[in-house]
Amino acid sequence: MNLGISGKLTRATIMSPLTPLFLLAAILVGLLATITIPREEEPQIKVPMVDIMVQAPGLSAREAVELVGKPLETIVKSVDGVEHVYTQAQDNGALVTARFLVGSNPEDAAIRINEKIEANKDRIPVGIPAPQVTVRGINDVPIVVLTLTPKPGAAGRWDDQALSELAGKLRTEIAKVDDVGLTFITGGQHMALRVVPDPAKLALYRVPLGNLIEAVSQANRAFPAGTVREGGQAALVVAGQTLRDAQELSSLTVRSASGAPVLLSDVAKIEQAPTQNQARAWRWAKDDRAAWNMGPAVSLAIAKRAGANAVAVSEGVVERVGTLKATLIPAGVEVSVTRNYGESANDKANELIFHLALATVSIVVLIGFAIGWREAGVTAIVIPTTIMLTMFASNVMGFTINRVSLFALIFSIGILVDDAIVMIENIARHWAMNDGRSRIDGAVDAVAEVGNPTIIATLTVVAALLPMLFVSGLMGPYMAPIPINASAAMIFSFFVAVIIAPWLMVRFARQTLAHGHEEHGGKLGALYKRYASKVIATPQSAKRFLVVVGIATLVACSMFYFKAVTVKLLPFDNKSEVQLVADLPEGASLETTARVLEQAAAVARTVPEVTSMEAYAGTSAPFNFNGLVRHYFLRNAPEMGDLMITLLPKGDRSRSSHEIAVDLREKLKAIPMPAGGSLKVVETPPGPPVLATLLAEIYGPDEATRQKTAAQVEAIFKSVPYIVDVDNSFGQPRPTLKLVPDRAKLDHYGLSERQLFDSIGALMGTQVVGYAPRSELGGNDRDPLPIELALDQSQRSWSASLAATPVAATPTGQLVPLGELVTAKMEPGGQAIFRRDGRGATMVTAELAGRYEAPIYGMLAVDDAINSFDWKAHGLVKPDIILHGQPEDESKASVLWDGEWEITWVTFRDMGGAFMVALLGIYVLVVGQFRSFTIPLVILTPIPLTLVGIVLGHILFSAPFTATSMIGFIALAGIIVRNSILLVDFIRHTRSPDKSLRETLLEAGMIRFKPIVLTAAAAMIGAAVILTDPIFQGLAISLLFGLASSTLLTVLVIPAIYIVLRDDGRPFPEPAT
């Protein structure tokens, strides 16, 4: 017998003393990799986003676009690696965001942007402040959030300001933990030395506001002035001093218009108090009696360094907090861990490792019952060995242990054991022949017999999987561990099957099977013969069977058209947190935002699965990956707020987080919202995040056309019952009070605009004129106090008393009131302007909940409504609908679908291309093996048959067909072809002139049916253990039901095709045996 590569490897290693050493080394390096490889909950997707913030005081949004946005767009777009450029302009500023290609290095991205801007700064108009460039990536997302709140009974001793100071000290201690990265504090009140001018007293004491500002600024100034010689030594000269406290500020003197000194305390209120316009944060939690307690809160968010183990960092942080409770953290303060991605990653990893072990044990039991328990023992060693080698390779390639990489291993178990099952079963069959050969010769011959087709079959699985590695966009790196780890596992499994498995079989398996020689497959072979003989009895019966199978496949495909099986990128995950995002009309007060959040919290408290909540008014909650992409960290205006809701662990509740979110969204409708305001329920996306699930970008010739079209599209969105949380990008502009200086009067009084603007800044805003150090006041090196000049919020309205405030004095001592120097005009503010990749765009966003939850169905409903709407009656032109790619012609309105649809389009497009490449690769491999162009077509025929089971499985589980379902379908192409190769190869080798074609087909089918069923059952067991996971359920359904249908049909379809194409006309021998 020609041994081939497989037989030669087995012959060389079956008695070699190096084989057990290789086995031991494989297990050791795998265990080492398992211990050292970092653990994450999700794959770390590098999507650097560089924010370029430009302040443009006095410019309208439209002017900011022309003078700042467009020049920066052209500069940034020329940087290598930039994929998209987004611009958001509003009055007084613009934000340009450069999103780099997936996988780009964040540090390199920031350097390239800075260098390009610096080299082209002449293109930015003179007078525009230098841009502030900030890069953010996945490693800026906090993995641990610590929330500080007073314990019940201690709320009076711990207010926002005290908690904020404690959080600052805790932050310093947490930074000592290894591999801690960026940290920041959210919420709390920061103290300041506040100088509150009294307009009436300024007029009474004849003190111009400008004199007050100058006196405070100059009094808080100190600088090194040089050196002097004193006693033979050089002494440093420091001129001036810094103010220390409110008492020193109060004793300052200010010159009146007549030159008389006036105490600062006579014309202003001086106090050490929290700064104004700050965010608020508070927390609700249940006590031991399940009663809700509310108190102020401050959150400390902690990220990790790049490449660090999230589990180790989070454990280090929590352990550090535990040690600080005896020293830094007072007894009256509760430090709650409100986010711990390290713990959730560890729990998920342990859960999946358990599933990995469960799948392994199940397959071993299967082999034990089907072949023998000694052979099962061999399988119990072969599977972990292959897994350990795969873990080692994964670590070397830089992957982490996360839910995707572990699912790749679980998915692989069912197919990586295929090679070993084929080898073990064939060795056992050869030994059972008892034909005089030695155990070693029998094992080598058995491996050689199925070696070459096994190599081709293994390569076909790899060929089916590897093309998925080239899926582009955000889903590419997210799913990359599946093709890489599964392909590595398949390659390792072959070498383990031909080296380790025979070595173990010789030493541990029995010489003769208890059930005797099963040359024709035993009971399974008899079962196969009963049905196959009917199918291939005549050419007509074979054709009828093929027609029925073809019709069943077409019916299965039609289920997608009739929406019996829906299509979605990824299903909703089952997380332990839900976020509410409040967007009130621009200009809404912090108090209004807080009131809405409190009402939302009252509704959330009625949901039994809710355990705690943190509200953030005027700022954002610590952001996650979704918030990073959506730029939630820029939500720092009074009209914005977040409510973070923590749920019971998923093992302690019957409803998924998505079901809870849907229920919560319905209940929140009872909250009255101001016109133009919205309260959205935001779930953590199961895969790559997007700006919105359903996102329509409206393009057109001008801003007015875009907004009118967008307003109508928004109305259509709201008319679709399963489209929820509808919003737009332009909002309602806040009114603007313009104080226009009278230059003639400024010249008349000899005043400068700078003096006037400083005074207006102190009256209408907050002007920081210096800082007061606190270290000498027992502050323990706390941050210095800012010295702020500002009126109280209640006084900030344009009134006669404010207009009468003296802001300057003439050389003759005449006071000049503010109202005489400016003209006040109330105007509507400018609306925000968005641009994407150099084109003006207005966005309409929404989510989906209810009957359909995939964007494609919302898009179809909106498209139908757009096409049926009478646009002419509303003075508009019907917009073109674009599925992918920005419009080339902007002279007319168009609607481009983006959001989750864009990722869905790219993912399924690339996966479809990967499937075509996989089929081509498999075809080439099979042509090379069989040296025929037609036989490979026969072998590939069963691939569509998997759809029968896949569609049926998705219907039974009411599950959408997702990207993971598609991965399962593509993987099945390799698995099914593997079975076809083994069957066809056996048919070719058993064919002889003495046997009719029907005898040959039956004999080959009866002998190969058992290993085919065993390998399929093993793969199905591997799939079954992940059926409960919401993300990878589609993959499990595809493998489980697709394998069941295609395996049973393959062993019948291929013989039927042989009969139709090559029937020799010879009937079964009589009697048929």
CA 898/CA 881 separation, integer angstroms:
11
CA 392/CA 402 separation, integer angstroms:
15
How many other CB atoms are there within 10 angstroms of residue 1044's CB atom?
Answer: 18
CA 7/CA 497 separation, integer angstroms:
11
What's the pLDDT score for residue 277?
64
- The three-class DSSP label of residue 229 is strand
CA 590/CA 599 separation, integer angstroms:
14
CA 682/CA 397 separation, integer angstroms:
35
CA 38/CA 905 separation, integer angstroms:
32
What is the longest distance spanned by two Cα atoms in the chain? 132
What's the pLDDT score for residue 989?
78
CB 899 within 8 A of CB 695: yes
How many other CB atoms are there within 10 angstroms of residue 123's CB atom?
Answer: 12
CA 607/CA 613 separation, integer angstroms:
12
**CB under 8 Å to 216, separation ≥6 — which residues?**
195, 249, 252, 264, 769, 770, 787, 789
What's the pLDDT score for residue 709?
96
Q: Side chain identity at 443, as an amino acid letter?
A: A
What's the pLDDT score for residue 460?
85
What's the pLDDT score for residue 720?
96
**3-state DSSP of 979-1007:** HHHHHHHHHHHHCCCCCCHHHHHHHHHHH
CA 133/CA 97 separation, integer angstroms:
10
How many other CB atoms are there within 10 angstroms of residue 567's CB atom?
Answer: 19
What's the pLDDT score for residue 979?
80
Map out the domains of the chain with their CATH numbers: 1-36+371-519 (1.20.1640.10), 49-136 (3.30.70.1430), 140-190+278-343+575-690 (3.30.70.1320), 191-274+735-828 (3.30.2090.10), 523-573+895-1073 (1.20.1640.10), 700-734+829-882 (no CATH)
Strands 785-789 and 894-899: unpaired
What's the pLDDT score for residue 513?
46
What is the DSSP code string of 340-405? Answer: EHHHHHHHHHHHHHHHHHHHHHHHHHHHHHHT-HHHHHHHHHHHHHHHHHHHHHHHHTT--B-HHH
- The secondary structure of residue 829, as a DSSP letter, is P
Q: Across the 1073 residues of the chain, what is the mean pLDDT of every consecutive 10-residue run? A: 84 93 94 87 84 91 93 94 94 94 89 93 86 91 95 81 91 94 90 90 91 87 82 82 84 89 92 80 88 93 92 95 92 94 88 85 88 86 91 88 81 77 84 83 89 84 86 85 89 92 86 49 81 91 94 95 92 92 90 95 96 95 93 92 95 93 95 90 89 95 94 96 92 84 88 86 86 60 80 82 87 87 87 93 94 93 96 93 93 95 92 88 87 88 91 95 91 83 82 83 86 85 86 91 90 91 74 45
What's the pLDDT score for residue 887?
94
Q: What is the reported pTM?
A: 0.86
- The secondary structure of residue 933, as a DSSP letter, is S
CA 743/CA 752 separation, integer angstroms:
9
CA 85/CA 102 separation, integer angstroms:
14
Q: With CA atoms as reference, report the closest residue to 141 among 285, 303, 262, 379.
A: 303
